[in-house]
A = this chain, B = another copy of it.
């Protein structure tokens, strides 16, 4: 049916090996033959069968990507970055969504392991032991997470939290709430840690408001607690939560940013569209995707020894319109004060 290497060989009057070499190790064959072969191949519309090639070389030209939830607007940018970088290197990407279920993820790793050259794993919930098991099944790069001895691309959470706290502190907030994400999430733990350190250093009181689902509804649920706690600003686990929180606050008649400042994390597209637009910590999603592919391919090709195995990306606070100076008892909050930019 499809045109094979032997078809090309016959048509060009050479052996299959020569065709193979003409296409993949060009300067091992005579320029004249090479030209003829490539012309014939082109003409016949020959495309090497990657599966077959994979069989003999052990390299499939495929990458696997496992992530918890494609519907979370954080991920599409990452995926796009990954796809872009992969395609440029002539790799295809298998994407698998685990529906936020860590056990499914390990299963997916098992299934994918044999079919790909490496796996990009975005699994905030897997346990360290599981991660290490996964890493034995195939070359793995972790995204948005660090784990001893496994290559990873992560984000400077601590630095990001510092930026957030400093921004709030500079505006006079002395008591800041944190609407936490899932207890089992690695990022969540990192963020709490970063917030504590930064709060401490800036003389700010950090009030942990509990754990919530990393969704819009999770944020809505958190509004009540935020109001009661008496903080003047709240940081949310991510933008989706922050958006829900904004919604919950509005329902309760709390003016943002006049009476309460809100900060998100991720900078998902929606955060700039909403009104007032959300102050948030930008995470370079697309870059993270590209970097992870870059790292993975390096590990596959290079002697893998002397390549930096953990990369940490910088974040940047985008001061938009949900943060403002803390209301004081003496002054009524204006709600129209200009939001300072960093």
Contacts and interface: CB of A to CB of B under 8 A. Distances in A.
Nearest to A116: B92
Contact of A244 (B55, B97, B273): B273
A292 interface: no
Given A70-B76, A83-B96, A92-B94, A114 B2 contact: yes
A77 B83 contact: no
**Oligomer copy total:** 2
A71 B84 CA distance: 14
Nearest to A113: B47
A92 B112 contact: yes
Contacts of A95: 79, 83, 93-95
Contact of A80 (B70, B73, B77, B243): B70
Interface residues of A, number: 41
A110 interface: yes
A54 interface: yes
A168 B341 CA distance: 43
Contacts of A55: 49, 51-52, 55
19 contacts: A49-B55, A50-B115, A51-B51, A51-B54, A51-B115, A55-B55, A70-B70, A71-B77, A73-B73, A80-B99, A83-B95, A92-B94, A92-B96, A93-B95, A216-B273, A243-B273, A247-B273, A250-B275, A274-B274
A79 B83 contact: no
